[in-house]
Amino acid sequence: MNAAAREALTVSGLTVAYRSDAGWLPVVEEASFTVREGEVLGLAGESGCGKTTVAYAMLGERRPGSRVMAGTVLLESQDVLAMPERDLQLLRGARISMVPQNPATSLTPTMICGRQVMEVLEYHRIAAGTAARRRALELLEEVGLRDAPGAFARYPHQMSGGQQQRVVIAMALAARPRVVVLDEPTTGLDVTTQWRILRLLRQLRDRFGTAMLYVSHDLAALAQICDRIAVMYAGRIVEVAATRVLFAAPRHPYTRALLAAVPSLDRPPEAEPALKGSLRRDELPPGCPFAPRCAFALPACAVTPQALVAIGVGHEAACWRWRELDGGLRALAHAD
Ligand SMILES: Nc1ncnc2c1ncn2[C@@H]1O[C@H](COP(=O)(O)OP(=O)(O)OP(=O)(O)O)[C@@H](O)[C@H]1O
Ligand code: SF4
Ligand SMILES: [Mg+2]
């Protein structure tokens, strides 16, 4: 990834709420990040932190019962959130596309896979008829399906989960979008298939310079593919850094706890206090949202809002104790 590359996607102050009995409940707050051309940005965090809500917002999609309260999502300097639905339909799949978690939900069960790829090409007026057929076959080859004509003629249920996901990736890339959003694309696949899909995505990024926002709770998977990673907690981005930096020198206690739980890392598991409890959105304090679970929390944390601040080159964190959390962690941690 070229550090001087232009921004493909620029998100500023994104705030999304869901309707609840108590009114509009924000589940993503003030999220800001960029994805540069040819870059893979990871979005990490526990279940329920708001990753999928962010992912859908990138395509101007509002999940049922949700509302964008503030923010902009700039794709080639156009604000996706301000576009009418008619324009969004032309944009989706052409300039930005999505690979959702479950390939089965994005494939039509009653249509052969090749026809589904052809439909994307025809919808976006890239090719029609035999040209679309030829291009669909090429795309199925590009995503590593060995017997492309065979894959073309099969229904989704006649394929494995990994093969289905490759077809979905072929559809997502068919119009050569600038940005692809991937929401847990390898969840539910076995480890070898996961690895193959990650390798394929890396190859496609290198070949076409596609910018990718890769959403996952799996830091080990993110480490394999991402140039940078943004960590979310309770709807807020709490740390952003280059993948290497995040793994070698995480500063936010939440990032540290998440990393400590990744078994394959070069780090003894007892080096960090374990992550306490689970994310309870109904019990978030007015200050730092992580305070109820943070081993390093001081009384001031619960009442002092934390914003992302630059703490190094390309490294931001939302914890006012980041300087202290450099060594002697056990001494700083509060006894339970
Ligand atoms: N339709 C909805 N109505 C109300 N609340 C919702 C709705 N969809 C999601 N939420 C809530 O919004 C929050 C964020 O959900 P989201 O699906 O974005 O999280 P996530 O990080 O993608 O989680 P996961 O890792 O489980 O996929 C959660 O607390 C969830 O309960
Ligand atoms: S601000 Fe306080 S509670 Fe929040 S992460 Fe930092 S030390 Fe923990
Ligand atoms: Mg999700």
pLDDT in tens, 9-65: 999 999 999 999 889 999 999 999 999 999 999 999 999 999 999 999 999 998 889
Using the Cα atoms of residue 184, residue 225, residue 196 and residue 263 in order, give the sign of their dihedral: negative
What is the arithmetic mean of pLDDT over 202-216?
94
Question: How is residue 144 written in tokens?
Answer: 């590593």
pLDDT digit string (tens) for 77-108?
899 999 999 999 999 999 999 998 887 788 99
Q: What is the pLDDT of residue 101?
A: 82
pLDDT digit string (tens) for 163-206?
999 999 999 999 999 999 999 998 888 888 888 899 999 999 99
**Look-up of token digits 């991937």:** 182
Q: How do beta strands 179-183 and 96-99 pair? A: parallel
Confidence of residue 297 (pLDDT cuts 50, 70, 90): very high
Q: What is the pLDDT of residue 202?
A: 92
Question: How is residue 93 written in tokens?
Answer: 């799949």
What is the arithmetic mean of pLDDT over 214-241?
96
Q: Which atom of ligand 1 is nearest to the CA of 232?
A: 21
Q: Is the pLDDT of residue 115 over 70?
A: yes
For the chain, the average pLDDT equals: 90
Residue to probe by mutation, ligand 1, list 16, 27, 215, most atoms within 8 Å of CB: 27
Q: Is 239 helix (H, G, I), strand (E, B) or coil?
A: strand
Task: Give the full edge-to-edge strand order of the sheet including 228-233.
Answer: 96-99, 179-183, 211-216, 40-44, 228-233, 236-242, 315-317, 309-312
Confidence of residue 261 (pLDDT cuts 50, 70, 90): confident
- Domain segments of the chain as ranges: 110-168
Q: What is the pLDDT of residue 276?
A: 75
Closest residue by Cα to atom 4, ligand 1, is 18
Report which of 83, 85, 3, 76 is spatially closest to residue 39, judged by C-alpha positions. 3
Closest residue by Cα to atom 7, ligand 1, is 18
Cβ–ligand 1 distance for 163 under 6 Å, the answer no
CA distance 110 to 106: 12
pLDDT digit string (tens) for 148-157?
999 999 999 9
Q: Are 60 and 91 in contact (CB under 8 A)?
A: yes
Report which of 184, 192, 185, 227 is spatially closest to residue 206, judged by C-alpha positions. 227
Q: What is the pLDDT of residue 334?
A: 41
Confidence of residue 324 (pLDDT cuts 50, 70, 90): confident
Q: How many other CB atoms are there within 10 angstroms of residue 269's CB atom?
A: 11
Q: What is the pLDDT of residue 333?
A: 41
What is the arithmetic mean of pLDDT over 297-324?
94
Q: What is the pLDDT of residue 335?
A: 35
Q: How far is the CA of 134 from the centre of ligand 1 (A)?
A: 40
Global confidence as pTM = 0.92
Question: How is residue 124 written in tokens?
Answer: 């976006």
CA distance 206 to 226: 12
What is the arithmetic mean of pLDDT over 313-319?
96
Ligand 2 pocket, Cβ-based, cut-off 6 angstroms: 252-253, 288, 290-291, 294, 296-297, 301, 306, 319-321
Q: Is the pLDDT of residue 4 over 90?
A: no
Task: Give the full edge-to-edge strand order of the sheet including 7-20.
Answer: 23-36, 7-20, 66-75, 78-79
String of DSSP letters for 237-257: EEEEEEHHHHHHS--SHHHHH
pLDDT > 70: what percent of the chain?
92
Q: Is the pLDDT of residue 160 over 90?
A: yes
Q: Are 145 and 152 in contact (CB under 8 A)?
A: no
